[in-house]
Structures are given as C-alpha cells and as structure tokens.
Amino acid sequence: MPSLRHNLSYDFYRHAIEHGQRTALYVDERRWSYAEVAEQVAGLAGWFKSRFPAGRASIGVLANRSAEAYIGLLAALWSGNAYVPLNTRLPAPYLLDIINRAEVECLVIDRHTATRLNEPLFKNQSSLTPVSPLEAFEGPSARPLIDQDIISSVPPLNIPIAVCSDQTAYIIFTSGSTGTPKGIAPTVANVSWFLNATQERYQLNENDRFSQFNDLPWDPSVFDIFSAWKVGAASYVVPNRQLFAPAHFIREHELNVWYSGPVQIHQLKLMNQLKPGSLPSLRLSLFVGEPLLKDAAQAWQQAASNSLVENVYGPTETTVVCLGQPFSDDPACITSKRNHVAIGKPYRGAQIRIVDENRRPLPCGDVGEIAITGPLVTPGYWRAPELTAQNFVQLPGERETSYLTGDLGYCTDQGVFHFTGRKDNQLQVNGVRVEPEEVALHLRNISESEEVAVIGWPVNQGLVTGLAAFINQPKIEIEEIRCQLGSVLPAVMVPKQIEVLERLPRNQNHKIDRNALRKLLDERKEAP
C-alpha cells in the first residue's frame, strides 16, 4: 500500500515543515536550510512529475559534491522515482553503459559536468534530457538544458508522492572484479531498515554534524546524507580539494560524525595531521571498505579522543553496512594473524552465518564464506537474473533469501565476526595455496608501509606463477624486505616483484584497485 512515510524524502520534508531554518546541507561554502532545499526540490520534483511517471523512472545524477546533486536526488525521490548516482570520472563508454542499463531518461547535471554531454558518444543519445536545478548556464551544445522558466512554469510538488515499500530507492553500480558494472537496487524497505538500525545503534540526533565524504556512487553516502536528514541534522560536504587531508575541514566545522575508508587515516598520518587530541569534536568515527588496521585505529582514536571508533562491514548488496566492531584495547576485537579490527556483531535484524562450500553452517572458529540474511538483503542485481541466482540463495532448510558475500571469515564463541579475505583472492601459485592477505601482513610489518597490496602475477595460460607486491614509502631497502620475508614465509609466498608507488591506485569505492595494478605490470611487460 503506498504511503507518504515510505518515501525516503519524507523525513526531509517533515523537518522542512517543522524546523525549516535548521541547517540541512553545507556545500560549496554555503549553508542550506531545510526550507531552502525543500523549496528547490519541490519545484524540480513538480517538473519531474509532469514528465516521468512516479515509480517508473530512473533519474540519473551526473553531479557530485554540488548543491545540484543533492537537490536532484531528493527531487527524484520526492517525485516518487529512483535516483541513479553516476561517477563523473568514468570514461564515456562505461558511463553510457550504466545509463542505458539503468534506463535513465533524465540527467541532473551541474556546471562542472555539463561538458560531459558534448563528448561524441553522448551526442546521439536523443532520449537523454539534461536538467540543472539551480543557476542557468550555457548547456552542452549537443543537448540543450531544460530552461529554468519551463521548470518554474510547472506547479511545484509541495508534498512528496506516496510510494510502496518494495519500490526501488536508488540504483548503484559497482565496478565488480571483472570490470563489468553490476547494478544493485535496494528497495525503500531495505534503506528504511538501514536508517532505523543506524539511528538505534549510534543514537544519532538533530545536533550532529555529519561528514559527507563518500562519493554519491558509493553506498556509504546513503549514511552521510539520509541518516543525517532522518534526524534533522546537517550533512557537511567535504570539498574535493580537502578529500586527501580533511582534518582542517573536520575542525573548522566541528563535525561530530565521520565516515570514510581507512585510507584517509594513512594519508593524514603521512602529512603529520593526525596528532593526539587534534579532532576533539568527533563523537563517532566509522571506517568501511577495507580492513581497518590496529595501528591506524589507534592513531585515529588518539586524535579523536572523544570519539567511538568503529570498523563497519557490509556489501552494497546488503544495503550499505550491517556489522560493526568498536575499537578498544581488548585483543578480542583484533583479527588473529591479520592485525586488523574485527567486523564485529550484526546490526539489529541482520543474521550472519559462516557457511561451507555446501552452504551449511560451520562451527565457531572455522573459516568459511560470510552469508547475510534479513531485511537488509536487496532483491538482487539489476536486470541480471542469472547473476542474481548465483549469489542470492536459500541456505539449506531455510526459506528466506541470503546473500553469499564471497568474503571469508569466522565467528568467535562471543559472537564476534572476523574477516580474513576474499574467496576470489585465494591463489594457487605453482600448485601451492596462497592467501595474499597473509603475505601482505608480513610485508606491512617488515616494510612499515601504510599501504600494501599483493596480487598473483604473472599469469600464464590462466595459471598464477608468482606474486607481485606494491608498497608505498618503505623504511628499508627492497632487497632487505625480500630477505626478511624469506625468513618467515615459504619461498613460493615471497613476491618475485616488489614495486614502490607513491600512492596505490584506488577505485570509486576508495579500495585498492588490483585490476589497475595488474594492468600496470602487464603494460610494462609488453613495452618494448
């Protein structure tokens, strides 16, 4: 049954009515109140409603870290439709593939992204309608912008449209290990579960100041904005120029809630900007996407001495995150033989199991695949039933759908879950089973590098014949690193090639991009 309360923009609308002057958004050095944003959203949503049937359209957001981006995605939801956040840095063929697969008909753009539509591949896309919610500017010559007067001539949609709980909220495309983007479309019910679970777990309130650090095409951004707007709080958009060194932004705006990948800790340490007591305003610090190393957690805890520091975990297929482990001095919160923080215990309503190759539960302590069940599990991959059937399954004896994550882990007797690696990262090197994470642990300890990655390379006729490692700023010589590795690891686990990079490449989710590392080595091998 459709309901106004099911619409994910409802809480924003409610706060605009009840507390309109409260700050909702800080972006481009301007504070926007709930009332100011709602006025812009209502106008654009009215035009959306006149052009795109509620519940049947996907509104692409080809903008990021601009007021237009947030007004656009809110207006899409307000009008009863789904939004599709698009990575503005993607090459045109990749971007156009996502637009076509998501069946996007309208693109919200801003001044910085309008030029993308002048690229040759976009010139023949006559079905795409570009719109900018705010200032009028000269649009792309190949596809004129909808005139602001046309938008304002349509009556504003002053109240969000009622929707059903099983309606798609947004469609996010992940890069995937093969490079082929996979669309994941959480329902309104999925996202509502997540927002309720996070509010309950962290006691979020209207006085909090949230970081909006994560790019919109990465699902942690859902926490950055919608968890803030659910409680009437403000979301502060970190400018592009401060993404690599956000400490000043945190202090300047006295942020209370921080959410990012662990790489930001490493970068601030390298720049000597993570001194003890330097981030006193933070009360909650969440890290996601990659293992949170113990040393990194300690450094952030010392800088944010008033903050709970928590490692959180959850694939996009299960609506942002669903497990969390607060950092402490208790050895039980550190994963053995990995030296990173555990992924912890489930959010309310999430069920986590460790299963074997036959999808049967394993006893505590045994390593197996992490399977997730509950109201957080999304319907599957967008328009990909065969791929969905491979990963969204029913465990033996159960009717509810579980998602097989492809991640390996174990659970302790105390109910704490630990992540140990990826199934698809396990390698057979010359017939010997090798776990790259184990090699990376020793490599990190010996080199004292903040960023480390180990991949199988070279690959001959599908067989991995060796390992290659990448590190940044080692404290000792490469040959000494190789020698020390040989003293603690079998010869087959010692990387034949160790490369030093100033910064390891990362994908749109801020994770180390192993495909890019393989490509780097392959290109060097092929070069004359």
- Domain end residue (candidates: 406, 422, 438): 422
CATH number, position 143: 3.40.50.980
Average pLDDT value for residue range 437-458: 87
Under the banding of pLDDT at 50, 70 and 90, the label for residue 406 is: very high
Residue 403 lies in a domain: yes
Write the Ramachandran bin of 98: left for phi over 0, alpha for psi from -120 to 50, otherwise beta. alpha
Residue 185 lies in a domain: no
Residue 379 Cα distances to 36, 94, 270, 348, angstroms: 35, 24, 42, 20
Under the banding of pLDDT at 50, 70 and 90, the label for residue 496 is: confident
Residue 460 Cα distances to 108, 356, 463, 466, 470, angstroms: 45, 30, 5, 10, 20
3-class secondary structure, 453: strand
DSSP 239: P
What pLDDT does residue 174 have? 84
Q: Are 220 and 362 in the same domain?
A: yes
> Which tens digits make up the pLDDT trace of 138-174?
666 656 788 888 898 999 999 999 999 999 999 999 8
Q: Which of 227-241, 332-346, 428-442, 489-503 has the lowest mean pLDDT?
A: 428-442
What pLDDT does residue 468 have? 92
- Find out whether 283 and 308 touch, Cβ atoms under 8 Å: yes
Average pLDDT value for residue range 283-290: 95
What pLDDT does residue 178 have? 43
Please give the structure tokens belonging to residue 520. 């780097």
- The proportion of the chain whose per-residue pLDDT surpasses 70, expressed as a percent, equals 96
Please give the backbone phi and psi of residue 258, each rounded to the nearest 5 degrees, phi first: -120, 140
CA-CA distance, 82 to 76, in Å (whole number)? 6
Q: Which of 134-143, 237-246, 307-316, 517-526 has the lowest mean pLDDT?
A: 134-143
- Work out the mean pLDDT of the chain and round it to a whole number: 91
Q: Are 354 and 476 in the same domain?
A: no
What pLDDT does residue 317 have? 96
**Domain span including residue 263:** 190-422
For the whole prediction, is pTM greater than 0.85? Answer: yes
Q: Is the pLDDT of residue 308 over 70?
A: yes
- The domain total for the chain is 3
Residue 181 lies in a domain: no
Among 51-60, 84-93, 383-392, top mean pLDDT goes to: 383-392
Q: Are 227 and 374 in the same domain?
A: yes
Q: Which of 11-15, 70-74, 369-373, 448-452 has the lowest mean pLDDT?
A: 448-452
